[in-house]
Each structure stands twice: as C-alpha cells, then as structure tokens.
Chain A
Amino acid sequence: RKEVEQDPGPFNVPEGATVAFNCTYSNSASQSFFWYRQDCRKEPKLLMSVYSSGNEDGRFTAQLNRASQYISLLIRDSKLSDSATYLCVALSGGSYIPTFGRGTSLIVHP
C-alpha cells in the first residue's frame, strides 16, 4: 500500500467549475506537504505548499487535516489551462525522502 494515495481520476469538469482533490497519507510523522502540477511529458512544478492553517493562492486553496491524515486542493473557476495532473507530496520530519502520490488527472473542457 502506497503511503500517499490519490484518486487517479480523471476529473472531467467544465470551465468555471469548482473541483476538489483529496490526498491521504499513512505516515502520521509526515510534517511537510506540497501540491505539484505536472503537464503531459513535462516536469512537476510546485503549485503550493500546504500549511497547517491552510493557504490560498488566487483560485487555489490547500488544506491540511491532520486528524484524518489528508490534504486537499480546491480549484475555483477552473480554466482550460488547469488541465494537468496534480501530485501531492508528504515529507516526514527528519526524513529526506519525500513520498509522492501517483497523481490526479484533471481535464477542464469548454
């Protein structure tokens, strides 16, 4: 069982929709969390870090729920350009090995 689990999707949504992804992690010692975006045949790029208090960057909101051991990503007012795979990452305190989820595919259509 992988330590970080994501629904692979694809999530197929119309432009302007709000979409949310969850990512569960099994290691309770995980301290740092990130969301990355990966376009087809490209490298992953950092979308946002996930803080305990939650954080927002424009149309994107990330939340952390330590009690239930999941992080979430909410995308409001989806754009065609949001179509990509979204990877969540957990890193345990004192560990140098980040654990990547397998990614959730998002397709935004006109």
Chain B
Amino acid sequence: NAGVTQTPKFQVLKTGQSMTLQCAQDMNHNSMYWYRQDPGMGLRLIYYSASEGTTDKGEVPNGYNVSRLNKREFSLRLESAAPSQTSVYFCASSRLADYNEQFFGPGTRLTVL
C-alpha cells in the first residue's frame, strides 16, 4: 500500500509556464483534496473532490484548475504560473468528505521564478 503518492517531488517553473501536479491514492477513498502550505500561513485548501465526478473550490482556488480523473487520481493544474504560486503542494484523501481524517501525500515543492 503506497497510500497517497504525488509527482513530481520538486519543480521549478518560469512565470507563465503551465504544469500539472499528479496525485493518486490506493486506499479506495472517496474524497481527495489539494492544499498549499506557505510559511506562517498554514495549510490552505485549494480544491477538493468530495466524490468521484465532483469538484469544488476551497479557500484559495484562483489560478488553479483540477480534474478528478477517476476514483484514484486527482490532478492540479497551473495554467500560467506566477511567483505567488511558489509553495509546497500537498494532496490528501479521506474515506468520506466529512467526519473523516485525511491522509497526505509527500508534497510537491514548486518554485516559480
């Protein structure tokens, strides 16, 4: 059981470039989440998918899009990267969207120059 996996682990982009962060879970969880973590700001929810086929905005969705490809996979896309998107990105999953603890992937460290 790998749990939650994320690729890539590190990425450097130039302003205006696009990229997709990949996330997959093998725990048969229904819900998946994307967070960013910045120093002094804590974890902030970007988008979530309560169940396969649904996606919703979180606290800081601007500049991002997501795709719930299937039950296992949930990707995060930056269409035109900006320096303000330099952050550590964590994907998480939970069995159900409410009342359940979340399991996190190892994170992607993204720098936008």
Q: Give chain A's interface residue range (CB within 8 Å of chain B).
A: 20 to 34
The complex places the Cα of A44 from the Cα of B91 at a distance, in Å, of 11
Q: What residues of chain B lie closer than 8 Å to A87, measured between beta carbons? A: 42-43
Q: Give chain B's interface residue range (CB within 8 Å of chain A).
A: 20 to 34
Q: What residues of chain A lie closer than 8 Å to B90, measured between beta carbons? A: 43-44
In the assembled complex, the CB of A104 is this many whole angstroms from the nearest CB of chain B, namely 11
Encoded as 1 (CB less than 8 Å from any B CB) or 0, chain A from 13 to 41 comes to: 00000000000000000011010000000
Name, among A32, A87, A96, A103, the residue most crowded by chain B CB atoms within 10 Å (CB to CB): A96
Please determine whether B99 and A31 come into contact, CB atoms closer than 8 angstroms.
Answer: yes
Secondary structure type dominating chain A contacts: loop
Name, among A45, A91, A94, the residue most crowded by chain B CB atoms within 10 Å (CB to CB): A91
The complex places the Cα of A87 from the Cα of B90 at a distance, in Å, of 15
Encoded as 1 (CB less than 8 Å from any A CB) or 0, chain B from 50 to 89 comes to: 1000001011000000000000000000000000000000
The complex places the Cα of A91 from the Cα of B94 at a distance, in Å, of 13
- Residues 63 to 110 of chain A near chain B (Cβ within 8 Å): 87, 91, 93-98, 100-103
Name, among B42, B58, B97, B107, the residue most crowded by chain A CB atoms within 10 Å (CB to CB): B42
Instruction: Give 10 A-B contacts (CB < 8 Å), ordered by A residue.
Output: A2-B42, A42-B107, A43-B106, A46-B101, A93-B99, A95-B98, A98-B45, A100-B44, A102-B41, A102-B42
Closest 4 CB pairs of A and B: A102-B42, A43-B104, A96-B97, A100-B43
